[in-house]
Structure 1
Amino acid sequence: MDSATVYLDEIGGRTLRIAHWRLDDNLDHPPVLFFNGIGANIEAVAPLAAALGERAFIMFDMPGTGGSPDPVVPYNTFTMSWVAKKLLDRLGVLEVDVMGVSWGGAMAQHFALQHHKRTRKLILAATSPGMLMVPGKLSALTKMVDPRRYVDADFMNEHFATLYGGVMRDSGAKAKRSHIGRITPPSPRGYVYQLIAMLGWTSALALPFLKKDVLVMMGGDDNIVVPANGKLLAELMPNARLVEFPDGGHLFLLTHSEESVAAIRAFLDEEDELAEAA
């Protein structure tokens, strides 16, 4: 986080903790607008922002998570996409590549649909089309909704593999330590409001009309968002491609960081390379 600019600001009537990397560096690519997973704070994805050093990154803690104060009233995907657009306006950013992981993948889909003129490409990691999804494994889902996973280290240690799948293989132990060390527990209200925000939400009916280039990334051993959801997303969108890490769990962005970054970079650079060749 040393290279990030981090601050509190009021955007669209909500006080948010905001972070951005390299936004003033006059880079050749549009910034990445990133939406995080449920309950996760900016620090959880800071390694990805650092790894893609040729691009600017913009993200913020959802109300009641990380350093953002508790929400006063509930919100939904529409209002928070509008807030994200207001943030881009404040920063003077006209176009972004949008990325979201898990819960944030739903936010990323909604932003791309609601603000398609501000979206160049879309990356969806370990996520689903919302209500019309293939359910995850019950053993993982029951642990996910238990708030002890944020505040009880022993609980997290015991159930980490059940929750996140393939993380215990190869670089799993390192990813586990890194993830736990970076997470700040959300407030009870913040966590509940994030859950409420997705009640009844689905992108399935709208995705066939999304003409953006889309990269769908899934872990083949994901217990929370099973890989069938990635296939469903890729089939729903006309310009989508699917990359699956067979032994990756829900945190494949950490356990398979080099492969993930390579896939993201190749996808985002593709149009630039074609333009240079022409």
Structure 2
Amino acid sequence: MEEIGGRTLRIATWRLDEQSDHPPVLFFNGIGANIEAVAPLAQTLTERGFIMFDMPGVGESPDPVVPYNPFTISWTASKLLDKLGIDQVDVMGISWGGGIAQHFAMQHANRTRRLVLIATSAGMLMMPGSPKALTKMANPRRYVDADYMIKNFETLYGEGLGKTSGKKGHMSLLKPPSPRGYMYQLICMLGWTSAPALPFLLQKPTLIMMGDEDAIVPLANGKFLSMLIPNNELVVMKGGGHLFLLSHKEECVKSIRGFLATAEHDDEDEDTAEAA
């Protein structure tokens, strides 16, 4: 637990005390999801430091006293980096957290080296998912009732994970958010869109990862982001539902590593050219 910008947040870090040639990753999670849900990814990227926190009212972070928005939560994340003594990060975000990741990358461009957007959209101006999936997505019962989550898993997250044996294992990683925490996360993004700003304010190389069977954030949203972001690469996970980061873990890690490694190689070439 750390006091960050007037908020008490549960923070998780990996390998920040180890020597590395790579900047650490700052990861923004999906709505209602706690640190443990993405911990397997942090544990797999052993060559990098990794930073993540439970949003207010999610996981072990206490309930928020007042609502927050993308600007204030990005500012809080920047204050966390200050506290950790980190100047620059590679920013990643999944689903709801992908919107926050976009906002952070524009609000704190000097702290963002590269951006990875996973199963996300431009916010309000998005192609909606299937009504059946969104109805269940909006039901907080999915975080309170494990049987409900398992029963409706394919509807919620697409067949990319719904048909795998790993869904019960994923459920064991989730802790229900508080009603206020869940509500404030929903309120946070109301009316928000990155679309008008992306062509002008997001100049960082960006990897966009989407699943072609995502019932919650359809592939069209990734294609829309790709049209707006000047320097991007779009990777589509075949047969991937909303949680392809788990169901297609090896493919995802390979794409992320390749993208970040290429970016680092380009940085070295720029440094060499400047020295010459």
How would you bin the TM-score normalised by the shorter chain? over 0.9
Query: SS where residue 173 of structure 1 aligns?
Result: coil
| Residue number in structure 1 paired with 2:139 | 146
Deviation at 1:167, TM superposition (A): 3.0
Q: Determine the C-alpha separation between the residues in 2 that align with 1:187 and 1:203.
A: 28
Specify which of 197, 212, 224 is matched with residue 220 of structure 1.
212
Contact 2:161-2:243 within 8 A present in 1 as well:
no
Does the alignment pair 1:91 with 2:69? no
Q: Determine the C-alpha separation between the residues in 2 that align with 1:242 and 1:275.
A: 21
| Residue number in structure 2 paired with 1:4 | none
Unaligned residue ranges in structure 2 (runs of 5+): none
Q: Determine the C-alpha separation between the residues in 2 that align with 1:78 and 1:169.
A: 34
Using the aligned pairs only, state the percent identity.
Answer: 65
Contact 2:161-2:240 within 8 A present in 1 as well:
no
Does the alignment pair 1:73 with 2:79? no
Contact 2:153-2:162 within 8 A present in 1 as well:
no
Deviation at 1:274, TM superposition (A): 4.2
Contact 1:167-1:173 within 8 A present in 2 as well:
no
1:136-155 Cα offsets, whole Å, 9 max, x none, are 11000000111111111221
Unaligned residue ranges in structure 1 (runs of 5+): 1-7
- Please say which of residues 263-272 and 63-72 is displaced more in the overlay: 263-272
Q: Determine the C-alpha separation between the residues in 1 that align with 2:263 and 2:196.
A: 27
Deviation at 1:268, TM superposition (A): 0.5
Letter in 1 for 2:177: P
1:236-265 Cα offsets, whole Å, 9 max, x none, are 011011000120000000000000000000
Size of the aligned set, in residue pairs, is 269
The TM-score with structure 1 as length reference comes to 0.94
Contact 1:161-1:168 within 8 A present in 2 as well:
yes
Q: Determine the C-alpha separation between the residues in 1 that align with 2:162 and 2:222.
A: 22
Matching of residues 31-70 of structure 1 within 5 Å? 31-70=24-63
Specify which of 229, 233, 237 is matched with residue 229 of structure 2.
237
Letter in 1 for 2:81: L
- Please say which of residues 160-169 and 142-151 is displaced more in the overlay: 160-169
1:93-150 Cα offsets, whole Å, 9 max, x none, are 0000000000000000000000000000000000000000001110000001111111
Deviation at 1:177, TM superposition (A): 1.9
Does the alignment pair 1:120 with 2:113? yes
Query: SS where residue 15 of structure 1 aligns?
Result: strand
Specify which of 102, 127, 151 is matched with residue 158 of structure 1.
151
Contact 2:214-2:242 within 8 A present in 1 as well:
yes
**Alpha-carbon spacing, 1:112–1:52, altered in 2? closer, same or farther (3 Å):** same
The TM-score with structure 2 as length reference comes to 0.95
Q: Determine the C-alpha separation between the residues in 2 that align with 1:12 and 1:168.
A: 37
Specify which of 235, 239, 243 is matched with residue 247 of structure 1.
239
Does the alignment pair 1:191 with 2:182? yes
Contact 1:12-1:83 within 8 A present in 2 as well:
yes
Query: SS where residue 209 of structure 2 aligns?
Result: strand
**Alpha-carbon spacing, 1:82–1:274, altered in 2? closer, same or farther (3 Å):** closer
